[in-house]
Structure 1
Amino acid sequence: MKKAIQVLPKITLKQLAVFVSIYQTGSTSRASEELHLSQSAVSSALTELEARLQMPLFERVGRRLNQHPNAHPVYVQAQAILGQSLTLEYYYKYQAGQIHIGASTTIGNYVLPPLLAKLYEALPDANVDMYIANTQEVVSEVEQLNIDIALVEGMPRPTDMKVIEQRAWRTDTLMVFAKRDSKWLTEVAAYNHDGDCYQLTVEQLAKLPLLVREAGSGTRQIIDEQLLQHLPDAETIIAIQQSEALKNMVSADIGLGCLSQHVIQAELEAGTLVQVKVAGIDLTRTWWLVWHKSRHQSPIWQTFIDIIQHG
């Protein structure tokens, strides 16, 4: 009598999507929110995938899930499979001119609009979806294949490099700035009338309130690396979520600020805000193009790349 052979069910895209989401978020509850599934459905999909692969992907410690060594190679393959399935699913939409563009806050608000105008001029029927958030959030959307290409101010984390391609795009300069005739500067800073700016030493800046973007933003990454490390004894650092709010608070003379030159250009030209040069500090940074290695590079994708490379 022949022994019955157990036939396990095939792996499904849903199981792979659940696994990738758990891998990225670290929990079944956050994965269920992200995928709009019940937590029990998420847990079942993971259990079924582990049974089909006949290997554990996570180690359960209490209510926590820790990645098993098996998880990473499966994650890489799952990302590639999901990317290929999306390429197939959205093939005709891509041909019709659909593109999902992500941008970190400064680029999205101040630099991207004229580039999009050029895209619409080249492709009047282009269907463009936009996602604007801080660098960390945008890169996360690229990882999850929700965005075709993104323009970000900060360098993606080293852990992102396994699935993300990046290319240096252009340079930008951050500026420390203040309200003209600010109460914080009139007594401590030298004013350069020719350059129309104040001049401070690092020691002087450390004693003044400084408003900066929140952790996770590309602007904050550069400020941490190229400015705040020189201010270990800074007395007051205030983190602000939005560039416009930060700029308005500096205009109200709550303290000094540090943002991209693009954000404060109009106010510098109007003379309501002035640059503050800090001796020995260079706040030049690189802006990056990033995309998922598995993402389909459609004709509209190539057109947009040409525009942003030469626009």
Structure 2
Amino acid sequence: MHITLRQVEVFTEVLKSGSTTQASQVLALSQSAVSAALADLETQLGVQLFDRVGKRLVLNEHGRLLYPRAVGLLEQAGEIEQLFKEDNGAIRLFASSTIGNYLLPGMIAAYRRDFPALPLELSVGNSQDAINAVADFRVDIGLIEGPCHEPDILSEPWLEDELVVFAAPDAALLQQPITLESLAAAPWILRERGSGTREIVDYLLLSHLPQFQLGMELGNSEAIKHAVRHGMGISCLSRRVITDLLEAGTLVEVNVPLPRLTRTLYRIHHRQKHVSKALQRFLAYCRE
């Protein structure tokens, strides 16, 4: 059976209009095309939907059975058309932890104020997790804390971010001049391997030290900043992560003898992924 929406539409319009002539005018089809579509539908179903009384078409028991279902089917088809005209598909994002926990909440809130009903799914992990999710098409787009070198993934600069070294106010490091040697002697509390923050800290900061003492690795920035606050070592994270504790005085920034530590945050998507209008609209909020 190959019933078409056009045949169903012709049936409902003939019923409403009362004749194939009137229906053809409404549907902008020839009368013969309307008659043929109705005849094809009846052939597909194996029943007559109208009794032919002279030149009149009178709905019979089969037509009455079909009509409410036909109307429901056309309404659903119209909803599908409208859905994609407005491009309201669900957006699936994967963000590395700093971005997902500290940057995106405000951006998503602004987006939600204007589009409260649009579905949006956010997953948070480290940068490698985000890259894997994009590569496997489990998400539409990724937001990560360093460049991506996978050949099948397009990586575009998104935002600039500043990294700062920080310590507890009474840290031993702060009782002496800050040098590369004193930084090397301090215990460092760092993100895990695979984290975008760890990759950048290794490159921009730790590579300049004669050596460094790894105190511990922790899987999220919240754990790190509170470990530092309790005097367990020093660390380097995005300024966005520790702004509240710097302002409260429970952490202090360490001025290191190196150029300003900045990094680029990146937006990634698969080369074969179509970036929809809905996704472009959300990314505009992210840029703002």
CA RMSD, Structure 1 to Structure 2 (Å): 1.8
* CA deviation string 1:31-68 (max 9, x = no partner): xxxxxxxxxxxxxxxxxxxxxxxxxxxxxxxxxxxxxx
| In the alignment, structure 1 residue 238 sits paired with structure 2 residue 227 | no
1:172 to 161, 165, 169: 161
- Which letter does structure 1 place at the counterpart of 2:274? H
* CA deviation string 1:236-255 (max 9, x = no partner): 34221111111110011011
- In 2, distance between residues paired with 1:170 and 1:121? 23
5+ residue gaps, structure 1: 1-90, 190-199
For 1:143-292, what aligned pairs fall within 5 Å after superposition? Answer: 143-156=135-148, 158=149, 160=150, 162-182=151-171, 184-189=172-177, 200-292=178-270
- Which letter does structure 2 place at the counterpart of 1:179? A
Distance 1:296 1:204, change over 3 A: same
For 1:33-112, what aligned pairs fall within 5 Å after superposition? Answer: 95-112=87-104
Structure 2 residue matching 1:272: 3-state secondary structure: coil
- In 2, distance between residues paired with 1:239 and 1:281? 25
Offset at residue 262 of structure 1 (A): 0.6
How high is the TM-score relative to the length of structure 1? 0.63
* CA deviation string 1:198-233 (max 9, x = no partner): xx1111100111111111111001111111111242
| In the alignment, structure 1 residue 299 sits paired with structure 2 residue 287 | no
Structure 2 residue matching 1:175: 3-state secondary structure: strand
Q: Is the 8 A contact 1:142 1:150 kept in 2?
A: yes
- In 2, distance between residues paired with 1:141 and 1:93? 28
Offset at residue 308 of structure 1 (A): 1.3
Structure 2 residue matching 1:136: 3-state secondary structure: helix
2:124 to 119, 132, 138: 132
- Which letter does structure 1 place at the counterpart of 2:99? I
When the two structures are aligned, how many residues end up with a matched partner?
206
Q: Is the 8 A contact 2:173 2:182 kept in 1?
A: no
- In 1, distance between residues paired with 2:154 and 2:272? 10
- Which letter does structure 2 place at the counterpart of 1:174? L
- In 1, distance between residues paired with 2:270 and 2:85? 18
Structure 1 residue matching 2:117: 3-state secondary structure: coil
- Which letter does structure 2 place at the counterpart of 1:144? D
- In 2, distance between residues paired with 1:136 and 1:272? 31
Q: Is the 8 A contact 1:227 1:281 kept in 2?
A: no
Q: Is the 8 A contact 2:95 2:124 kept in 1?
A: yes
Q: Is the 8 A contact 1:226 1:281 kept in 2?
A: no
- Which letter does structure 2 place at the counterpart of 1:290? I
Offset at residue 186 of structure 1 (A): 4.3
Offset at residue 187 of structure 1 (A): 2.8
Alignment match, 1:45: none
How high is the TM-score relative to the length of structure 2? 0.68
Structure 2 residue matching 1:139: 3-state secondary structure: helix
Structure 2 residue matching 1:259: 3-state secondary structure: strand
- Per mean C-alpha deviation after superposition, the further-off stretch among 272-281 and 232-241 is 232-241
Q: Is the 8 A contact 1:138 1:150 kept in 2?
A: yes
- Which letter does structure 2 place at the counterpart of 1:172? D
Q: Is the 8 A contact 2:184 2:209 kept in 1?
A: yes
Q: Is the 8 A contact 1:177 1:274 kept in 2?
A: yes
Structure 1 residue matching 2:175: 3-state secondary structure: coil
Q: Is the 8 A contact 2:173 2:183 kept in 1?
A: no
* CA deviation string 1:55-104 (max 9, x = no partner): xxxxxxxxxxxxxxxxxxxxxxxxxxxxxxxxxxxx96993331001110
- In 2, distance between residues paired with 1:264 and 1:143? 31
